[in-house]
Structure 1
Amino acid sequence: MYTWQHALWQQLRDSFQQKRFHHAQLFIGLPGVGKFDLVKVLASTLLCERPEGFRPCNACKACGLLAAETHPDKLLISAESNSIGVDAIRALSDFIHHSALQGGNKVVLIKDAEKMTHSAANALLKTLEEPNLNRYILLTCNDKSQLPATVLSRCGQQSVAVSEVSCAQNWLSEQHIPLHEFVWVEQFYLQPLKLVQWHEDGMLDKIQALYSFASHLKESHNFAEVQGILTEHTQLNSVFYVFINQQLKYRLQQGLGFSAYNDAQKALHRFMLDTQQILGLNQSLGLAKLIYTLQNAIK
């Protein structure tokens, strides 16, 4: 468990001990704050035969099964092909209503619940509306605005966030990652695990190239490099968006006309929307169009 999650864990422990613990808990937060890691520890605690101080003992039979990922009373549901379908949620309902094979609690984890289809979300409602004793559903979500209000209203909602930047900075320093080399990292201190993942995946230099391009948008000549990075690593489109958006706001403060700023923002939002929603999109062409619009806006 991460240091920035300690206060939330205390709240969960207290609510459980006071029998106020909701049977369906939704953990909401930015990618990179450790929501799913927290949920896994919580699931292990709920399934442990002898939890100690609201933590799994790591010694009982249940903890052994959890370590081997073979516990029959734990079910993980995550997106396949970028969505969670109705069949997965129907399987959840069957799982919940059967007896616990280990005679204790049963726990379902739904990772990235916002990826449920409309039909899946409707199917989940039936289970949420009829809670069973000793059955728990733990959901994570990056953006709760993408979940139906009916689902939200039937869950206990927990915010998972880095409350103090210094907390994340101290933790990151212990990971021995050379983040001091990059000016842009301060924009992602509230998502420390994302920075660690980028380091492990060898992405830091690629992100630096995106930052350099955005910071010198009018003079930038490494379009081919940026094009190659975003084509190969489409998940970095959101990072590129952050850098471009920051640069546009800076230009606005420096005297860029509001009309030009508005046109540039529209082009940026259109590029992001297209890359997220249009299958088979010619990203190179879309990026070239975006850069042409941006460079003309800030001339």
Structure 2
Amino acid sequence: MYEWQTTLWQRLFKSQQQQRFHHAQLLHGLAGVGKKSLADQLSKALLCEHEQSLSACGKCKSCVLLSANTHPDLLVIAPQGQSISVDAIRDLASFVHHSAQQGGSKVAIIINAQKMTHSAANALLKTLEEPNVGRYLLLTCDDISQLSATILSRCSKVKVAVSDSNSAMNWIETQLPLGVSYSWLKYFYQQPLKVQQWYLDEQLGQIDTLYKFACDIKASHNFSQVQAILSESPELVNVLCLFIQQQLKAKLLGDLSYQAYSRAQVALDQYMSDTQQILGLNQSLGLNKLVNTLKNTV
């Protein structure tokens, strides 16, 4: 468990003590705050034969099976491609209604529940509406606005967030090589695991290139390099847009007029929308259009 999750874990334990622990827990929050890790810890505690204070003993048969990723009473569902299919949720319903092979509880984890298809979400409702004793559903979600109101109403919503930026900052420092630091890290103290993943994927240098480009977009010296980065890793478009947005806000506090700021923001919003919704969008043309608009505006 991560340091910034301690208070949240205490609240979950208290709800269990008071017999208010809901059978369907929706862990929601920004990507990179450790929702999956929290779901894993909860599943271990719920399946442990000698659980105490919502903590697994680590020694019983269930804990051993979990460590080996072979526990028959744990089901993990994740998106296949861009979505979670209705068949996967039907398998979950069957899993929940069968007896536990270890004689205890059964737990199903749905990762990125917002990616369920409409049919999958409707199928899940039936399971949520008819909870069985000793059956738990743990859902993780980056954006609960993408889930239906009916699903939200049948889950206990648990917001997972970094409450102390200093603890997240210190944690990030322990994950990076000694002496490695970037001025843009401050924008991601609320998503520490995202920074860790960038480091593991050897992408920190790419992120830094995007930041420098956003800081001096009028010069655009490394335009081709940025094009290559976004072409290889389209998910980093949001990072570039965040950096540009922060620069626009800083300029607005300086000598940039509100009208110019608004025009630039509209162009940025359009670029973000196009990259997310238009399949096969020419990344280079879209970026070139945005850069030209920002040069003429800012």
Q: C-alpha separation between the residues in 1 aligned to 2:294 and 2:252? A: 13
Unaligned segments of structure 2, at least 5 residues: none
Q: Does the Cα contact within 8 Å between 1:165 and 1:189 map onto a contact in 2?
A: yes
Q: Which residue of 2 aligns with 1:287?
A: 287
Q: Does the Cα contact within 8 Å between 2:176 and 2:199 map onto a contact in 1?
A: no
Equivalent pairs, count = 298
Q: Which residue of 1 aligns with 2:232?
A: 232
Superposed CA offset, 1:34-78 (max 9, x none): 110011010011011111332111111111111111111111011
Runs of 4+ in 1 over 4 A off after TM superposition: none
Larger deviation: 180-189 or 202-211? 180-189
Q: C-alpha separation between the residues in 2 aligned to 1:266 and 1:84? A: 33
State the SS of the aligned residue for 1:181.
coil
Q: Does the Cα contact within 8 Å between 1:28 and 1:140 map onto a contact in 2?
A: yes
Q: C-alpha separation between the residues in 2 aligned to 1:211 and 1:253? A: 19
Q: Which residue of 1 aligns with 2:145?
A: 145
Q: C-alpha separation between the residues in 1 aligned to 2:263 and 2:169? A: 36
Q: Which residue of 2 aligns with 1:82?
A: 82
Amino acid at match of 1:269: D
Q: Which residue of 2 aligns with 1:68?
A: 68
Q: Which residue of 1 aligns with 2:103?
A: 103
Q: Does the Cα contact within 8 Å between 1:25 and 1:158 map onto a contact in 2?
A: yes
Superposed CA offset, 1:192-222 (max 9, x none): 1111111111111111111111001112221
Amino acid at match of 2:232: E
Q: C-alpha separation between the residues in 2 aligned to 1:266 and 1:118? A: 31
Q: C-alpha separation between the residues in 2 aligned to 1:270 and 1:179? A: 38
Q: C-alpha separation between the residues in 1 aligned to 2:202 and 2:154? A: 41
Q: Which residue of 1 aligns with 2:92?
A: 92
Q: C-alpha separation between the residues in 2 aligned to 1:286 and 1:276? A: 12
Unaligned segments of structure 1, at least 5 residues: none
Larger deviation: 165-174 or 289-298? 165-174
For normalisation by structure 2, the TM-score amounts to 0.96
* Alignment CA distance shift 1:92-1:215 (3 Å): same
Give me the CA root mean square deviation: 1.3
In the TM superposition, residue 178 of structure 1 has moved relative to its aligned partner by: 4.8
Q: C-alpha separation between the residues in 2 aligned to 1:287 and 1:173? A: 32
Q: Does the Cα contact within 8 Å between 1:33 and 1:191 map onto a contact in 2?
A: yes
Give the % identical residues. Answer: 56
